[in-house]
Amino acid sequence: MSDREEIVSRVTTALNGRPSPVAIRNARKVDARGEQRGYWVVSDASGVIVASGTGEETFEHYCRAVGIDPADRNAVIDAEGRILTPGYVDIHAHGAWEKSFDDGSDGIDVARAGHAVHGTTRQVLSLITNPVDVICRNIRTVRAKMESGRPDILGCHLEGPFLALARKGAHDPECLKDPVPDIVDKMLEVSGADPASGGLGCIRQITIAPELPHGISAIRQFAAAGVVPAVGHCDADYETAKAGFDAGAGIMTHMFNAMNGLHHREPGPIPAAVEDPRVTIELINDGFHVQNPMVRLSFRFAPHRTAFVTDAMAATDCPDGAYKLGALDVNVVDGHARLVSNGAIAGSTLLLEVAVRRAVCELGFSPVDAVEAATLTPAKAFGFDKPNPVTGAPLGLIAPGYAADFNLADPADWTVEQVWCAGRKLR
């Protein structure tokens, strides 16, 4: 068995297992509420934080309350000044370690392990454009994984087939569709959604070009079923994008990429997202999809609403070479993925760990802002920053009542060294 096979087996077993109490002391806590040194956190056997703060006496009290001996060095994690963050939340990624989230249950296990060991404790699994029956099969697979009790899988994101041909990027043009009500109904049905009763299915997000003939009506239809539609892969003007957000779209899919850009006489969809406080804006902070000046600009004009995403494909954390994106051939050179057929950018090989590192170490962002973009902001896009039926405990902060999702990282370069998801040790 290879090292990666062993890691996949260990991570998958942990995620399918039960949580344990966790106690971490002497950390440099960084989350959206700020930064504190000498920090500790304690979670219980349900995978929820019971207390956090500073002060040794209080720490020892809460250790005993969850059944941990505060003097037991094997039971208490001494962070020794390492950075403690909430687990990273990636709401747009397609795969890693040579597998995509379209590759069945085993493929999901491999790709999730590839992201989990780098600190991405929760993930929305993005599914690529395919024939509708294949998409529906892949939705069912995600639904089954969630129903098995996996806490790390937040649902799926359908990036297609309702995209503009002119802005398709690396999506198969033969599979693009107008989102007519019958197809939307079929997708919602296989997801387990029940709009009549308010029951949520496993589809969290769907990217739609609002200018398509049924684009706006589909946004309303998905939103009514509890899905968060996203405006993206579109050729929409400002007014049409604004209509999409008013119809219920709450996300902009990887801003700047696969859409008409900013122009002083043709504003396009980006200003519509920026000026709407309801909208979470995805951003691929790899310096390739979006160059550094535009990354800095996005944080200035949409503070606390910019979510780092990876759009990571199967080649993530792998050597350069030949890969697949759906049925399409991709070549990765210097870590950059492009279609063999036309040279179009074909997703990324980014990890959220790297996106946070770039923000702090290269772009000079405050650690608080960088961590917020990888934790609380993406959680907010789906209401996961509050108690909810999908995650139970909220995500995105180191605070009592929140999920026991923790990363311990090297303060020198932000490399993630230890990871917990809902009280389950993944690394």
Q: Assess contact for 170 and 344: CB atoms under 8 A.
A: yes
159 annotated among ligand-binding-site residues: yes
Q: Is 250 annotated to bind ligand? A: no
Q: Is 345 annotated as a binding residue?
A: yes
Q: Tokens 């802002």 — which residue? A: 369
SS3 of residue 361 by DSSP = helix
162, two tokens: 């309702």
Q: How many CB atoms lie within 10 A of CB 34?
A: 10
Q: At what angle do helices 104-116 and 3-16 cross, to 10 degrees?
A: 100
Q: Cβ distance 426 to 15 under 8 Å?
A: yes
Contacts of residue 364, Cβ cutoff 8 Å, sequence gap at least 6: none
- Tell me whether residue 233 is annotated as binding: yes
Catalytic residue among 44, 109, 235, 311: 311
Q: Is 289 annotated as a binding residue?
A: yes
| CA–CA gap between residue 128 and residue 106 (Å, rounded) | 17
Q: Is 214 annotated as a binding residue?
A: no
254 annotated ligand binder: yes
Q: Is 78 a catalytic residue?
A: no
C-alpha 261/C-alpha 421 separation (Å) is 38
Cβ atoms of 204 and 192 within 8 Å: the answer is no
Cβ distance 425 to 10 under 8 Å?
no
115 known member of a binding site: no
For residue 6, say whether it is annotated as part of any ligand binding site.
no
Annotated binding site: 159, 170, 233, 254, 257-258, 265, 289, 345-347
Binding residues for substrate: 170, 257-258, 265, 289, 345-347
- Which residues are designated catalytic? 311
